[in-house]
Chain A
Amino acid sequence: MKNFKYYTVIVLILSFMGIVFVGCGVTTKESAPTSTPITNASSPETTNPESTAPITITSAKWRDAGVVFRDGDTWENNIWSRMINEKLGVTVEDAWSTPDWASFEQKLLLNIAAGEPFPDVVFDYYNQGNPTLDKLVENSEILMPIQEAFDKYASPTVKKAYSLAPKSIWSKFTKDGKVYGLPILSDGIGNATTLIVRQDWLDAVGLPAPKTIDDLDKVLDAFTNNDPDKDGKKDTYGINFGWKDDFSTYLGDTSWLFGAYGAIPQIWTKGPDGKLAYGSIQPEVKDALVKLRDWYSKGYIDPQAALLNVYEAAKAKGFMAEKGGIVAVPQWGYNQIKDLFTNNPQAKVNVLPIPAGSTGKVARLGDSGYQGAFFFSKDFQNMEAFFEVFNLMYEKENPDNDEFKFGWIKDADYALDTDGNPLYGDDMKKVVPEGYYKMGNFMLGFESVPTVPLKYFNYAKELVGGATPSTPDELNWSKTNNPLAWNIMSTIYDQKDISVKDEYDGPVTKTQSTQWDQLKKKEHEVFLKIIYGQLPIEAYDQFVTDWKAQGGDDITNEVNEWYATVK
């Protein structure tokens, strides 16, 4: 009777199922409603903003797991949240959160579609044409226009900082004359790049730092063929690019080379007739492609470049892995490549200004001026409270306020020695064993405390020039950033006028929404194939003709219609 065994097993499984079913049924009932109070929590307070009762602002954020908390701090209760709670009586609560940026954006739109109330305040990053910001502005009926509140509640310090940024930062968030997002200023230069070079390789091949594209030719040749790492193997390339997605990017950028010939691909720039024109179809681009094709055929460029994204090109499969001697980096590039010095203590890196072309032209892709934006629910009642928090973040920039002259919180982002002098960075360990505690990552959803444009670039320039830090804030910055990082920033700052910004900051146009992907795809394909020698250089002219005929001209017109409205 072996069958009996199966009966027993089946009976056991069924009874187990029953237990689980009942058991989980009970727990479900308990756990299900827990999600709802969060969103309702703010409503009792919001009805009486007059009272001094604590105010709760709901938010939603992407909680970067890389953030290091100290002293038992959490996302809900940390040094910053306690400060704004004590000072202003404001609590920021997350209606929900996600571990990464992509799922944050997805869930944000899902919740809107499902009719879930939009959190009071949401911050989202702007990243290389991130469509979510456009999507939010497009659904402006759930958002609150903010111009009035900004004029009314923003502190003079905040207004001063915003007055230093280009006017165009508002245009992305403007719809029918109303502004639906509060842009957060970038540091003023953002992702604009400069070149870093392996100084030890330059020394090994006995060449000076290249100043022009022609100098660069010699250096690339030596880096490729003269064994700059002296390991007896031909395993180096002159320069690293990341061409998987785009040519004009940040790490592994190529825009500076196109710039040396006079046009930046992939962006809209003002032509001599005052109208916007698309960079990739300008005749100068062809000259730059010829140069790249020449470099590729001589082996200066890794054939993998077409497969590598920008991070791979600068890091694991390029510069940081010692496969190339030169790469373009933005001001935050030092942190990306610093592992190089751990792996190879002999490595020396220097910074090069963007080299000029044979006609003396220098240009590179510039910054939009903002790094993201806050969006507010149309039902948000406590705009004043939000601006109190926001103003507080800028109080460090207020010269009339001594409270934060050393930093935000003693023994967190600064410490005082026995004489009352401020200590920063690793120096803090003399007084506080845990050392420096970086503030800012866990505030309202974005990385760093907002700042005045170009402030840190000025610090970098002064420090590189040999000056001693003149303010506690500058001392703080100098202690928490690496000298190579100062050098990168200062070099980018010296050339700040060569940045060419994308002048088109409007929504996707009508023709773009159907044709743009195909045009971009073709452009990328033709450019790469020309560089790799798979297409003759004449293919570029055909591309320009096709581009215009297949919707490019229409898009140009639409882009200029928009431009006329913002000029």
Chain B
Amino acid sequence: MRTSLVKSSDPYNGYLKSKLKINYQLHFLLLPSVVLILMFSYAPILGLIMAFQDFKVSKGFLGSPFVGLKYFDILFSTPDFYQIIRNTFFFASTEIIFLLLFSFIFALLLNEVRATFFKRFVQTFVYLPHFLSWVILSGIFIEILNVDGGLVNQFLVNLFGMKPIFFLGDGNWFRFTIVTTDVWKEFGYSAIVILAAISSIDPSLYEAAEMDGANRWQQTLFVTIPSLIPIMIVVATLKLGSVLDANFDQIFPLYNGLVMEKADIIDTYAYRMGLLNLNFSFTAAVGMFKSVVSFVMIVIGYRLAYKLANYRIF
């Protein structure tokens, strides 16, 4: 234990002095991030004013006329608006849930591996798909999920005698495919945080558990999992901020006319509107709508975490 405690002649006085210094030092430490955020986030946020303008590139923010909520009206009166929002929520929320769940389980399983070599290999391999773009992967998936002779269907037909499944041409299977492939691509990457959290668990907790006679299962159940709950809550809540950020990069190369009803999300819709007439105001309005929803979701998540788990995530 630290013996240096005795060293200060007047510990109480020293403590008070540092208490006085506290605030200026804490403010000082925050200064660089505040300045950077002001410059590169808040200054551009002022540009959201274009959501309320008929923004014209040659006239800029000062010269473009204000049109009030026109672009929000257009967004909300889109005939398929609710369908699009429903799809977006569906993809985003299922992906959040399954991704967290799967990477959590994966991290626990990997934690049971004691061959360091094997562990590092697995860890490095599974995070690689994260770095492959969906443009590349979608080409591969279209191939192996082909309804007529694709690898997966050959497997299903020959081994289980099933009828071939049109994975990307049937709305419900499309959803299933999108969520599954996204979880496959991202679980290794999102497990990194959880693995770091496992590494941060105080080993004395395990020692204590062992002394109490806990076996390996019980250690996982009573030490590892409870220690991970705070970080899981944090990650889950932060992810709530992206409930309207269904994966555009993934859905765009894979969606098609056959599955439109189940696949069209807010970003694909905004993208097509952009192709139609490059309306920056409309894009800004969509972005702002998404941000407001995210903000509300984060606030709710924050409150819930505090109410239910008595944990403030930030």
Contacts and interface: CB of A to CB of B under 8 A. Distances in A.
A–B contact at 8 Å CB threshold (below): yes
Interface of A: 109, 112-113, 115, 129, 131-132, 134-135, 138-139, 141-142, 235, 243-244, 302-304, 306-308, 317, 507-508, 512-514, 516-518, 520-521, 524-525, 527-529, 532, 534, 550
B277 A513 contact: yes
Contacts of A132: 278
A241 to B, nearest CB: 12
A521 B148 contact: no
A517 B276 contact: yes
Interface string B53-88: 000111110000000000000100111100000000
Contact of B276 (A112, A142, A512): A512
A134 B258 contact: no
B112 to A, nearest CB: 29
Contact of A304 (B57, B146, B276, B277): B146
A550 B77 CA distance: 12
Contacts, number: 94
Given A302-B148, A307-B169, A138 B260 contact: no
Nearest to A509: B277
A131 B276 contact: yes
Contact of B60 (A115, A508, A550): A115
Contacts of A532: 169, 258
Nearest to B270: A517
Given A109-B57, A139-B56, A141-B58, A307 B142 contact: yes
Contacts of A518: 78-80
B198 to A, nearest CB: 22
B166 A303 contact: yes
Nearest to A316: B139
A134 B277 contact: yes
Interface of B: 56-60, 74, 77-80, 142-143, 146-149, 166, 168-169, 254, 256-258, 260-261, 264, 269, 272-280
Contact of B279 (A244, A513, A529): A513
Nearest to A138: B56
B254 A307 contact: yes
A302 to B, nearest CB: 7
A308 B139 CA distance: 10
Given A112-B57, A113-B60, A518-B80, A529 B257 contact: yes
8 contacts: A131-B274, A135-B277, A243-B257, A306-B257, A513-B279, A518-B79, A527-B257, A528-B258
Contacts of B143: 317
A529 B276 contact: no
Contacts of A525: 257-258, 260-261
Contacts of B277: 131, 134-135, 507-508, 512-513
B253 to A, nearest CB: 9
Nearest to A524: B257
Given A304-B148, A513-B277, A524-B260, 12 more contacts: A112-B58, A131-B276, A131-B278, A139-B57, A141-B59, A243-B256, A302-B148, A304-B142, A306-B257, A307-B168, A517-B272, A525-B260
Contacts of A306: 169, 256-258
Contacts of B60: 113, 115
A529 B60 CA distance: 44
B278 A135 contact: yes
Nearest to A132: B278
B80 A529 contact: no
B169 A303 contact: yes
A11 B12 CA distance: 30
A516 B272 CA distance: 10
Contacts of B57: 109, 112-113, 135, 139
Interface core residue of A308, A520, A529 (most chain B CB under 10 Å):
A529
A266 to B, nearest CB: 13
Nearest to A508: B277
Given A139-B56, A521-B272, A532-B169, A303 B147 contact: yes
Contacts of A516: 276
B86 to A, nearest CB: 16
Given A139-B58, A306-B169, A508-B277, A528 B272 contact: no
A235 B278 CA distance: 42
Nearest to B274: A131
Contact of B264 (A243, A512, A521): A521
A520 B273 CA distance: 11
B72 to A, nearest CB: 12
B258 A529 contact: yes
A307 B59 CA distance: 40
- Find the residue from A129, A141, A507, A521 having the highest chain B CB count within 10 A: A521
Contacts of B74: 514
Contacts of A534: 258
A251 to B, nearest CB: 17
Contacts of B148: 302-304
